[in-house]
Structure 1
Amino acid sequence: MTAAPASGTREQPTRPPIKNRKYNRREALAGLAFISPWLLGFLIFTLGAMIYSLYISFSYYNLATNTAVPAGFANYELLFEDPKVMLALGNTLFYAVLAVPLELIVALSLALLLNSVRFGSGFFRTVFYLPKMTPAVATASVFLLLLNGNQGAINKGLALFGIQGPQWLLDPDWIKPSIVLMTLWAVSGTMVIFLAALKNVPRELYEVAELDGAGKVRQFFSITAPMISGALFFNFIVLTIAALQVFDQAYLLFYRDTAMAAPDASLFYGVYLFQQAFRQFNFGFASAMAWLIFVIIMVISVIQVRLGNRFVYYESER
């Protein structure tokens, strides 16, 4: 018989064989080799650029001579003195509050619709995803025609029901909703994530619920929503980050033609940052703007994670 270990002593964990350790090391090196292009790109073009932008945010940077004169916190102080910074930030936050819930609702509705299709599902998935593949410039050109207050197709459609459509691109109250409409056009990327999550919901749960007499609405809130809460949480965070960095839609609709003055309601944070960097060549101030929105996004994301984890269902918790 084997003697029991003496009380108070620990059994030493057995080390893996040398052959296995060598294999694991080779496997790790192979993995690093495969992701090395991404690592180099991240270190040079993302992390390196971020560090350099932080450096020039404390300086007056001259692009022509590639020199940076120390400015201390002057650029950051100017962030709170420039009224357009607060205007652009307010417009961006308002857009995010309006766009993110609508994107989630539309994407989830489309995913539920596609998930219920039994025949020709591949065709309909392709059709619904095609808008995501449309170039942003082409999409903006189409929406400039659709949202025309006088001859646009949307207002003509509303007129058939006796509704007078607004001046989408001229009325300050309708400018941000018009950009939201353009954003919803390309919501199919979020839809695909929801569709994948719906496919993973066990069919047996719905069968049991039907036997208990639960209707479709009760099944959605008691089964579907909890089971796809991880996808909901992920999309909520990603869409919020994207909304706070919105640029393409506003720029292409209102700032592509530099000869025309754009309304203040269309000035988003990303657009004003672009103007400061590549039109005014005020790279120090633009870098300070970039770091301000970075901190805001980080704070909002941390709050979302802290609050969202309370409502997310994980299979490992069963």
Structure 2
Amino acid sequence: MRRPRAETRWAYVFLLPWLIGLVVFQAGPMVASLVLSFTDYDLIDSPRFAGLGNYAKMAQDPKVARAVGNTVLYTLSHVPLAIVLALALALVLNRVTGRAAGVFRTIFYLPSMTPYVAVGVLFLFLLNGQAGMVNQFLGLFGVQGPQWTTDPDWVLPGIVLMSLWNLGSTTIILFAALRNVPKELTEAAMIDGAGPWQRLRAVTLPMISSALFFVVIINTITSLQMFDQVYTMFFGNQIAQQSSGDAALFYVVYLFQQGFQFLHMGYASALAWLLFAVIAVITLVQVRVGRRLVYYEAEEHAG
């Protein structure tokens, strides 16, 4: 009995730095922001209790409605497109063998290591309507490229295009799942006369459904919190901000403006908690749906 107790004490000792960080840098600020969401606080004067005033203000704020709309449209556009492209890249990687396999995995993952601010600056030049490389490439085929960063109708498609740069993590996760698909199942399907599409639909996708479910949740949460690249491209550039209007106003960008630009910290805290609640609800719905659609091999064997 003494040895397990000693091991337990040492476990808590080694966990103590993480527990302190959790309380000081995560749990503590979250509780503080929840309290501030019921106040009128500008970082200068003392907080004044406002009740549900900040939450009522959100329902009447047209900027909130526009930011929510932009964020939802971006999420609905980005997540399916990113999953399909990442799966296609993972299927290509799965067919590469030998030393080249490691090289290609590294190449596909490298863009994920690029800082988001650098990506925003890079695509600000790539999507330039006059001299950007994207429009120059389209011009080779006789296509007149749009004004990606100034035309409000093309701002959101340009942001979706930019976000596809960071597919490395999703690709590697799906590639790892593909490597675990039993070869005997694929071979049995081939013997039965199943073509490539039939094998993908009836064998591969069900066997990697747990990984697909995971990346859908992660990409959804990340899309709803989109900030760095958009702020760098459109709100760090006064000209781009004025020309694009509210087309690039995402929810977290508006939250940041309210808290650190206009010093409406109480209102920003309410916006943050609304986002937290929305993400929690969406994730719970996805989990409930995933229980019906996702195949878990371990559970199948246990049953």
- With the length of structure 2 as denominator, give the TM-score of the two structures: 0.94
Matched, 1:280 2:259: no
Shift of 1:162: 1.5
For residues 89-133 of structure 1, the C-alpha deviation after alignment (integer angstroms, 9 at most, x for no partner) is 111011100001011111111111111101311111111111111
Counterpart of 2:253 (choices 271, 274, 280) is: 271
**SS of 1:186 mapped into structure 2:** coil
Q: Do the aligned partners of residues 210 and 25 (structure 1) sit closer, same or farther apart at CA in structure 2, a change above 3 Å counting?
A: farther
> For 1:30 and 1:190, how far apart are their aligned partners in 2?
37
Q: Do the aligned partners of residues 35 and 116 (structure 1) sit closer, same or farther apart at CA in structure 2, a change above 3 Å counting?
A: farther
Counterpart of 1:90 (choices 69, 81, 84) is: 69
For residues 165-224 of structure 1, the C-alpha deviation after alignment (integer angstroms, 9 at most, x for no partner) is 111111222111111111110110111111111111111111111111111111111111
In the other structure, the counterpart of 1:159 is: 139
Shift of 1:36: 2.9
> For 1:39 and 1:217, how far apart are their aligned partners in 2?
49
Q: Do the aligned partners of residues 118 and 152 (structure 1) sit closer, same or farther apart at CA in structure 2, a change above 3 Å counting?
A: same
> For 1:33 and 1:223, how far apart are their aligned partners in 2?
47
> For 2:11 and 2:168, how far apart are their aligned partners in 1?
32
> For 1:229 and 1:144, how far apart are their aligned partners in 2?
36
Aligned length: 297
Counterpart of 1:300 (choices 255, 262, 282) is: 282
Unaligned runs of 5+ in 1: 1-17
Shift of 1:39: 2.3
Shift of 1:28: 3.9
Shift of 1:258: 4.1
| Pairing of 1:120-269 with structure 2 (within 5 A) | 120-258=100-238, 260-261=241-242, 262-269=244-251
In the other structure, the counterpart of 2:300 is: 317
Once the two structures are overlaid, the 10-residue window that deviates more, 120-129 or 256-265, is: 256-265
> For 2:251 and 2:238, how far apart are their aligned partners in 1?
18
Please tell me whether Structure 1 or Structure 2 has the larger radius of gyration of its CA atoms. Answer: 1
**SS of 2:104 mapped into structure 1:** helix
Once the two structures are overlaid, the 10-residue window that deviates more, 33-42 or 188-197, is: 33-42
Identity %: 50
**SS of 1:161 mapped into structure 2:** coil
4+ aligned runs moved over 4 Å, structure 1: none
Shift of 1:136: 1.6
> For 1:210 and 1:23, how far apart are their aligned partners in 2?
56
Q: Do the aligned partners of residues 203 and 26 (structure 1) sit closer, same or farther apart at CA in structure 2, a change above 3 Å counting?
A: farther
- With the length of structure 1 as denominator, give the TM-score of the two structures: 0.89
Asked if the contact 2:74–2:223 (Cα under 8 Å) also holds between the matched residues in 1, the reply is yes
Shift of 1:27: 4.0
Shift of 1:265: 0.9
